[in-house]
Amino acid sequence: MTKMEFYLFLPQMRLKLDDLVHKALGAEAAGFAGFTGMDHMAPPGAPGLPMYEAMVTTTWIAAATESLRVGSLVLCDSFRHPAVLAQEAVTIDHASGGRFDLGIGWGSVPDELATFGVGPTEPAVRVARLEETLEIVTALWAGETIDHEGAYFSLKSASQAPVPLTHIPIVIGGAGRKTMKLVAKYANWWNVHIGILDRLDEMRSSAGDARVSIQQQIAFVHSEAERAEVAETTARRFGQGPVVATAPELVDHFGGLAERGVERVYAWFCDFAQDHTLSAFGEEVIAALS
């Protein structure tokens, strides 16, 4: 069976920082390869709930762990100037001993950009801005002194030190034509939305050399006796999107995706990554697929 790695995806909302660290340590002990949160100015669909900033949270998690790769799925390009982003990423890279992934996109909640006044809402403008960001960030990481005069940013004789310890992987999600050009040019990982998995084979060549990952909501069924309750609760809270399954069923499910070329799963647990779920998933799913 083709091997697969798993990251824990856990939005940093409704949880204290100590809770996030506890769950990250549980994921590390269970065999997860990484930990990611999300990047929003306020929780999507729940603006009144508390939520921590992505890069600071990532730094906090990196400091508390030893082997987990850390990052966000994904950072919103509009929130940060590319030179600031490049320096933040290198700082976390050095602080963590090379465990930082740069997941980045052009924003999944346009209304948020307008609400907080942090960037344009038009899709074509946002993807063009992301292209400039990637050009600048990768040049600064390479140690170049750059002069850049673009539609969104102007840099004159700009350089930064230090550079990354080795290589900071870039994760880009999406399926649009312009996004796929950025995936092919800049990404190490192409994060495929679960809704376009049926198009994976036909689109694979447009991703260049980028490896394939997906994000998957999971309702872990610990025993048949609780399946009906888990399914009902999951449907009420999250609709029909999550996979409701036992460990053997998840091994089959993810094993099938691995055979199609998916090499990483960002696992988003519907029970908010309870201790017993993380440990059981590690023992029964990760161990079978790694």
CATH of the domain at 161: 3.20.20.30
Tracing tokens 């350089």 back to the chain, one arrives at: 159
- How many angstroms separate the CA atoms of 209 and 140, rounded? 22
- How many angstroms separate the CA atoms of 139 and 136, rounded? 5
- How many angstroms separate the CA atoms of 155 and 9, rounded? 35
Residue 219 lies in a domain: yes
Residue 111 lies in a domain: yes
Q: How much is the pLDDT for 1? A: 58
- How many angstroms separate the CA atoms of 221 and 250, rounded? 10
Handedness of CA 65, 70, 76, 82 (dihedral sign): positive
- Tokens representing 183? 């995936």
Q: How much is the pLDDT for 228? A: 96
Same domain, 115 and 227: no
Q: Which of 120, 183, 108 minimizes the C-alpha distance to 152?
A: 120
> In which domain, by residue range, is 218 found?
1-45+210-290
Residue 205 lies in a domain: yes
Same domain, 195 and 271: no
Number of domains in the chain: 2
- Tokens representing 81? 């100037």
Q: Which of 157, 185, 209 is the last residue of a domain?
A: 209
Q: Which of 147, 180, 209 is the last residue of a domain?
A: 209
Q: Which of 190, 209, 228 is the last residue of a domain?
A: 209
- State residue 232 phi and psi, 5-degree precision: -70, -45
Same domain, 79 and 198: yes
Q: Which residues in 132-164 are b (16+ Cβ under 10 Å) and which e?
A: bbbbbbbbbbeeeebebeeebbebeebebeebb
Long-range contacts from 39-45, C-beta under 8 angstroms, 24+ separation = 39/72, 39/74, 39/75, 39/76, 39/79, 40/76, 40/109, 40/112, 41/79, 41/112, 41/115, 41/116, 41/118, 42/112, 42/115, 43/11, 43/13, 43/14, 44/108, 44/109, 44/112
What are the strands, taking DSSP E only, across the chain?
A: 5-9, 34-37, 69-72, 75-76, 102-105, 146-149, 154-158, 170-173, 189-192, 211-220, 243-245, 262-269
Decide: 66 and 27 in contact? Cβ < 8 Å. no
Q: How much is the pLDDT for 3? A: 86
Q: How many angstroms separate the Cα of 263 from the Cα of each of 189, 191, 247, 274? A: 9, 10, 18, 24
**What is the chain's pLDDT, residue by residue, as a tens digit (290 residues)?**
578 999 999 999 999 999 999 999 999 999 999 999 999 999 988 888 999 999 999 999 999 999 999 999 999 999 999 999 999 999 999 999 999 999 999 998 999 999 999 988 999 999 999 999 999 999 999 999 999 999 999 999 999 999 999 999 999 998 999 999 999 999 999 999 888 888 999 999 999 999 999 999 999 999 999 999 999 999 999 999 999 999 999 999 999 999 999 999 999 999 999 999 999 999 999 999 99
Same domain, 199 and 84: yes
Helix (H, G, I), strand (E, B) or coil at 203: helix
Same domain, 85 and 175: yes
Residue 56 lies in a domain: no
Residues written for the chain: 290
